[in-house]
Amino acid sequence: MNEKFESFLKHQKRLAAYNAAFALLGWDEETLAPSGATEKTAELEGVLSGEVYTLQTDPEYKALVKELMKDPALSEDERELIRKTEKEIRLTDAIPKELYEKEAVLTSKSMAAWQEAKKKNEYALFLPLLSEMIELKKEIAKCQNEDGRPLYDVLLDQYEEGFTMERLDAFFGLIRKEIVPLLKLAKNGNKRIRTDFLGRRFPVSKQKKFNRMIAEYVGLDLNRAVIGESEHPFTTGLHMDDVRITTKYRPEMVADTLFSTIHESGHAIFEQGHDERYAFVPASSISMGLHESQSRMYENMIGRSEAFWTPLYPKLCRAFPAELGDVTLTEWIRAVNRADATLIRTEADELSYCLHIMVRYEVEKKIFNENYPAEDLPKLWAELYREYIGVDVPDDRQGILQDVHYAGGMFGYFPSYAIGNAIAAQLYQAMDREINVEKVLREGRPEKVKAWLHDKVHVYGGLRTVDRILKDATGEPFDPKHYVKYLKQKFKALYKTDAPVK
């Protein structure tokens, strides 16, 4: 291997060592750390962040990356890694130091104000900080804008490279046209779906056993993973051989927990499957949407299918005979796929989820393209929820204050969630052509799914762009039509007849 590229990997490994420490500290804070530890731990994390900043802005390192940009001997994947790194450095360098520092201070203040505002259900408490954050983000995006693009495109690109408003307008245009009416159809059909049993009390100790089994069943390697518990489920990892997911158990939430475990397992299986050669290249370079495509595919397309549950449902009934004795597989499948018009994104079903995202996309476009006044955002939010989802927003806590993202200044992030679903659908259809997914799931062989995804997606980690991965795996670049087609087929079947979803 090229000596300079080796130096580059060595520097990446140093960054990976700090990332591992931060991952463990973060995991520990959510799962175990004592409440009294917060202040001092944060102080020491601040010290370590300073060390990372020094590493990331090291002039020698930056010069090395610049040199490697011109190196003709690199492989395609190596070149891509250098390109991404150089871009990250460029974006960071473009921010004047005073804005950088202002952002850190403002983010911390804004997070506190948002928490307070959400607790008190009072948007006015968050408004001044939100306005300031929007102005700052515009200013930063202006600094980073090298070619006169619209500012919102500058932001979008940082979360999902290559996904401009032009592409997203087409994507959400399709969603608006096809999915908004479909959700109305679902709402009207819900009286035919039985859900009483989902609220029964399933003993937590038995749930834990079953969730562990199902995580391993879908392909999580428990020799290289930990399953913990936390208030909000998440996936993190020290490196590809130590990936961690959390789940939240409640007796009356058996289905939520199961699908949350499968979702996080999807993320974790992706992390475990990276190329060993790049094990210590920080995962930050992985596309958010690609990551989300794996969790959503496992959770929804695989995990909520009748084929998946055909071999598993008898086991679930044996584990919970009192709770599921009177429930058929068909009833189980229909209940866990039921779609509805609801208010909270994180609790949304598969069908309406993209509509929640579309609301946020439209809101952000107005903010950044039209200088929409921040004080009117709750009104806009309510209008869009009524129009797309068909619900009235009763208050800001269940409205614009529900998500943490704006408090953290993460404008442009939400579309990745919808992109992830669409990537999943596109991959799924290609995979299905090759291995007949329904058949292998019915036969209890989910390892076939994992193997396909491993070869086409997981092994590349953050090495390739979404379009490149999709092109190799499915024959075409990103195209949201597959997602819309998938949703239409699935939910029309679910709601048109009483037959279960295939």
* Residues involved in catalysis: 264
Would you count residue 41 as binding a second copy (CB under 8 A)?
Answer: yes
Site for a second copy (CB under 8 A): which residue of 89, 226, 435, 459? 226
**The tokens of 332 are what?**
């189980």
Would you count residue 113 as binding a second copy (CB under 8 A)?
Answer: no
Q: How far apart are CA 374 and CA 384, in angstroms?
A: 15
Stretch that binds a second copy, among 25-33, 105-113, 294-302, 491-499 (CB under 8 A): 25-33
**The tokens of 376 are what?**
């009117």
Q: Which ranges constitute the DSSP H helices of 371-414? A: 377-384
Q: Which is nearer to a second copy, 280 or 313 (CB)?
A: 280
Three-state secondary-structure class, residue 499: coil
DSSP state letter for 501: P
Site for a second copy (CB under 8 A): which residue of 224, 442, 468, 481? 224
Stretch that binds a second copy, among 29-37, 208-216, 330-338, 446-454 (CB under 8 A): 29-37
Would you count residue 28 as binding a second copy (CB under 8 A)?
Answer: yes
Q: How many CB atoms lie within 10 A of CB 54?
A: 9
Site for a second copy (CB under 8 A): which residue of 68, 113, 238, 327? 238
Q: How many CB atoms lie within 10 A of CB 293?
A: 30
Q: Which is nearer to a second copy, 47 or 105 (CB)?
A: 47
- Helices 288-296 and 466-474 cross at an angle (nearest 10°) of 40
Stretch that binds a second copy, among 14-22, 295-303, 375-383, 479-487 (CB under 8 A): 14-22
**The tokens of 495 are what?**
């709601």
Least distance from C-beta 47 to a second copy, angstroms? 4
Residues 167-206 that bind a second copy (CB under 8 A): none
Residues 277-316 that bind a second copy (CB under 8 A): 279-280
Would you count residue 21 as binding a second copy (CB under 8 A)?
Answer: yes
Residues 147-166 that bind a second copy (CB under 8 A): none
Stretch that binds a second copy, among 16-24, 82-90, 329-337, 487-495 (CB under 8 A): 16-24
Least distance from C-beta 14 to a second copy, angstroms? 6
Q: How far apart are CA 400 and CA 372, in angstroms?
A: 15
Would you count residue 221 as binding a second copy (CB under 8 A)?
Answer: yes
What backbone phi and psi angles, to 5 degrees, belong to 242?
A: -150, 80
Least distance from C-beta 274 to a second copy, angstroms? 11
**Identity of the amino acid at 259:** F
Q: Is 278 within 8 Å of 461 (Cβ atoms)?
A: yes
Site for a second copy (CB under 8 A): which residue of 2, 7, 25, 345? 25
Site for a second copy (CB under 8 A): which residue of 118, 137, 239, 263? 239
Would you count residue 327 as binding a second copy (CB under 8 A)?
Answer: no
Residues with Cβ within 8 Å of 438's Cβ and at least 6 positions away in sequence, in order, are 305, 307, 432, 502
Q: Which is nearer to a second copy, 52 or 136 (CB)?
A: 52
Tell which residue, 498, 476, 502, has the closest CA to residue 489: 502
Three-state secondary-structure class, residue 242: strand
Least distance from C-beta 16 to a second copy, angstroms? 6
Site for a second copy (CB under 8 A): which residue of 3, 34, 70, 497? 34
For the CA atoms of 401, 130, 123, 360, what is the dihedral angle to 10 degrees? -40
Q: Which is nearer to a second copy, 14 or 445 (CB)?
A: 14
Site for a second copy (CB under 8 A): which residue of 20, 286, 317, 435? 20
Would you count residue 6 as binding a second copy (CB under 8 A)?
Answer: no
Site for a second copy (CB under 8 A): which residue of 60, 105, 223, 325? 223
**The tokens of 410 are what?**
């993460």
What backbone phi and psi angles, to 5 degrees, belong to 414?
A: -55, -45
Tell which residue, 159, 169, 244, has the closest CA to residue 414: 159
**The tokens of 246 are what?**
């959390």
Q: Is 278 within 8 Å of 1 (Cβ atoms)?
A: no
**Identity of the amino acid at 187:** K
Would you count residue 36 as binding a second copy (CB under 8 A)?
Answer: yes
Site for a second copy (CB under 8 A): which residue of 242, 331, 340, 438? 242
Would you count residue 212 as binding a second copy (CB under 8 A)?
Answer: no
Strands 225-229 and 242-247, by their bridges, are parallel
Least distance from C-beta 245 to a second copy, angstroms? 12
Site for a second copy (CB under 8 A): which residue of 68, 198, 225, 400? 225
Least distance from C-beta 340 to a second copy, angstroms? 38
Q: How far apart are CA 480 and CA 422, in angstroms?
A: 5
Q: How far apart are CA 300 and CA 425, in angstroms?
A: 10
Interacting residues with a second copy (CB under 8 A): 13-14, 16-18, 20-21, 24-25, 28, 32-37, 39-41, 43-45, 47-48, 51, 221-226, 238-242, 279-280
